[in-house]
Amino acid sequence: MKRLAVFASGRGSNFRAIVDHTRMGILENLEVTLLVTNDANAPAIASARENKIPSAYIEGVLGRKFVTKQEREQARNEFDEKAVALLKQEHIDLVALAGFMQVLGHGIIDAFRWRIMNIHPAKDLVRFGGRGMFGERVHAAVLKSGMKESGCTIHYVDESIDGGPVVLQSTVLVEPTDTPETLAERILIQEHRTYSKAIQLHVDEKIKVADGKVLIDWSGGWEEKWNRRQEPFICSQMQKQLKQGALVKPAA
Ligand code: GAR
């Protein structure tokens, strides 16, 4: 059984989707062991409690003001050191950043090389990733650019910001009437499906990283089996959308 820690700073819907995949028996051979947050008031903490998953708050740089760059760096390093100690103590195999609003330093990246994944709500990480590109800012930039499609990317974390080897991407078409909020909503649905798939590929040791690129072994009908297993989760997502009136019920 592999042990996963999720790092989240906010709402935590990706965290919940991963937990749901394990609860529904879709994500196999994986236990969500720990939630780490750098915001003591993150709603994700309540989700962890509901699911009896321990959470740890480690103060980072989020929401704090620093007089000098060095002070900021020191606070970041202190977060990283405490996080590495906790991850080692908890025998964590894989870390999933899910709406984690803080750049990780070299120490933690090196200690968990190719064992930290991140999700970003865009496909073009050169244009719509990097420092300061998070949440709705990403979608506003995509709309402003006139791109016809966007989506989400799961990648391993390296020393660049949003530039590590890409594991999986999903595409969402941009509608002419989209606002950053409507685009974010449709992409989030794909995020919730795609992150668990990437995590399962990692857990199943189907991913190799060579020369900064990801190679996936899809042999043995892996994807078909995954799609079949994931159907109940997709149905539950659609039921929620129906309840919210976001889907039109087909005529009987
Ligand atoms: C998600 O859309 C995620 O892709 C994005 O923040 C949101 C978190 O939502 N991450 C970034 O922008 C990172 N650069 P959640 O808290 O509901 O999972």
Helices (H), the chain: 13-23, 44-50, 69-89, 106-111, 125-128, 136-145, 180-203, 222-243
What atom in ligand 1 is closest to the CA of residue 98? 18
**Strand 55-57 to 30-37 pairing:** parallel
**Predicted local distance difference test score (pLDDT) of residue 251:** 64
C-alpha 121 – ligand 1 centre gap (Å): 7
Let me know: does 58 contact 36? Beta carbons within 8 Å.
yes
Task: Determine which residue's CA is closest to atom 7 belonging to ligand 1.
Answer: 99
**Predicted local distance difference test score (pLDDT) of residue 177:** 97
Beta bridge partners of 37: 57
Active-site annotation holder among 21, 106, 120, 202: 120
Contacts 24+ apart (CB under 8 A), 62-71: 62/9, 62/38, 62/101, 62/102, 63/39
Q: What is the pTM of this model?
A: 0.96
What atom in ligand 1 is closest to the CA of residue 152? 4
B/e letters for 227-242, b = 16+ CB within 10 Å, e = fewer, are eebbeebeeebeeeee
Mean pLDDT by 10 residues, the chain (252 residues): 98 98 98 98 97 97 94 96 98 98 96 98 96 94 98 97 97 97 97 98 98 97 98 96 76 64
120 counts as catalytic: yes
**Predicted local distance difference test score (pLDDT) of residue 249:** 62
**Predicted local distance difference test score (pLDDT) of residue 156:** 98
Lining ligand 1 with CB less than 6 A are 8, 10-14, 98-99, 119-121, 134-135, 138, 188, 191
Residue 160's φ and ψ, nearest 5 degrees, are -85, 165
C-alpha 28 – ligand 1 centre gap (Å): 24
